[in-house]
Structure 1
Amino acid sequence: MADDLIGSVYTPDAGETPLLSLADVSILKAAPLARISLRAREASLAEIGTAFGTSIPTRPLTAETAQGRAALWLGPDEWLLLASEADLEPIQTSIADKLGAQPHALVDVSDRQDALIVTGSKAEWLLNSGIPIDLDITAFPVGMVTRTLFHKAPVMVLRTGSETYVVEAWGSFMDYVTGLLLEASEELAV
């Protein structure tokens, strides 16, 4: 399920140097993605999944992945669909054609958000320096996704591996989030 997210959907941006590279934790900028905000009724989710190429999760706080695409549950009738940038228009067209007049909303939010890949044995500790939820693997298992706050910035956190997380934030908050993560990491460098 979410184990393949890091390699097939969220990949490090090859044009960027690591933001942090310590023995116990690293932070990498993720490569740009197509991000589509989906609002739809439960009755149309099977059709949307067929058009998108992976099922749409119906269990709260979960993600579904297949063929380099991911669907993240964000609320009772809200999902974030992720794919390569080149697939944006074909995905929107495919879903719109499949649903026809059924009520739904597809909004391209690709430029709104950026993502960081935080990995290593101290990734949980580093994220908990600003996130007030329990990120222990027993409480926040691989494949779990949630919206929360990092200090005062709204973020989305997705656990993609036992020691790997993706943190998404609006572009206007990303410097704030990154700066606070780097500041907290100074304790680990000592």
Structure 2
Amino acid sequence: MVEIAEGCVLTSVPATTRLVLQGRPAALAAAATALGLAAAPPMLRAATGPGGVALRMGPFELTVLPGGAGREALEAALAGLPHSLVDVSDRNVAFTLEGAHAADVLAALCPLDFALAAFPVGMATRTVLDKAGALIWRTAPQTFHIEVWRSFLPYLKDQIHEVARGMTFDLLAVQ
């Protein structure tokens, strides 16, 4: 855990399994059931069940963070259904950015609107932070889970630190 600006903390997320599932509605529904969800989440939304998390990244795509026996249940549920299930655990790493100014730091690196009304809790998307591709998922009002390719992690952390150093969060100074 590293405080990058007053009230803004960057924390590494422990290594975990990350899967990318591509398939038609039947495969996505089977995956949702295996994760303990009523249905696959809507586009650009996340859903959490007892078997893990599903992030809907495209009409036929889920990024899955299975927990416990979630992976085995997922593979069993998909047996016999046309799909692609790729383990990207070694490619991706994750960290959280949290605090009162986390959205401001992200907004300095990306043209997306990270205001809570525009990017609510549970929303997830792929985007570019500066020059690094990233998956961003808002897990709480002031917390973002960010996934990037392992090779981009040092670069992106440096960019986040640079932005935070250059920003002033004193709202009284802005007139």
TM range (shorter): 0.7 to 0.9
Distance 1:97 1:83, change over 3 A: closer
- The share of aligned pairs that are identical, in percent, is 33
Higher strand share: 2
Aligned partner of 2:150 in structure 1 is: 171
1:145 aligned partner, one-letter code:
A
Aligned partner of 1:74 in structure 2 is: 57
1:110 aligns with 2:110: no
For 2:37, which of 37, 46, 54 is the aligned residue?
Answer: 54
* Distance in 2 of aligned mates of 1:144 and 1:125: 17
Distance 1:94 1:68, change over 3 A: closer
Please give the residue correspondences for 1:6-155 in structure 2 after superposition, counting only pairs within 5 Å: 18-55=1-38, 57-67=40-50, 69-84=52-67, 87=68, 90-155=69-134
- 1:91 shift after superposition: 3.7
Distance 1:68 1:161, change over 3 A: farther
Aligned partner of 2:159 in structure 1 is: 180
> For 1:102, what is the secondary structure of its paired residue?
coil
Normalising by structure 1, we get a TM-score of 0.81
> For 1:140, what is the secondary structure of its paired residue?
coil
Normalising by structure 2, we get a TM-score of 0.87
Runs of 5+ consecutive residues of structure 1 not aligned to the other structure: 1-17
Query: Between Structure 1 and Structure 2, how many residues are aligned?
Result: 169
Runs of 5+ consecutive residues of structure 2 not aligned to the other structure: 170-175
RMSD of aligned Cα (Å)? 2.0
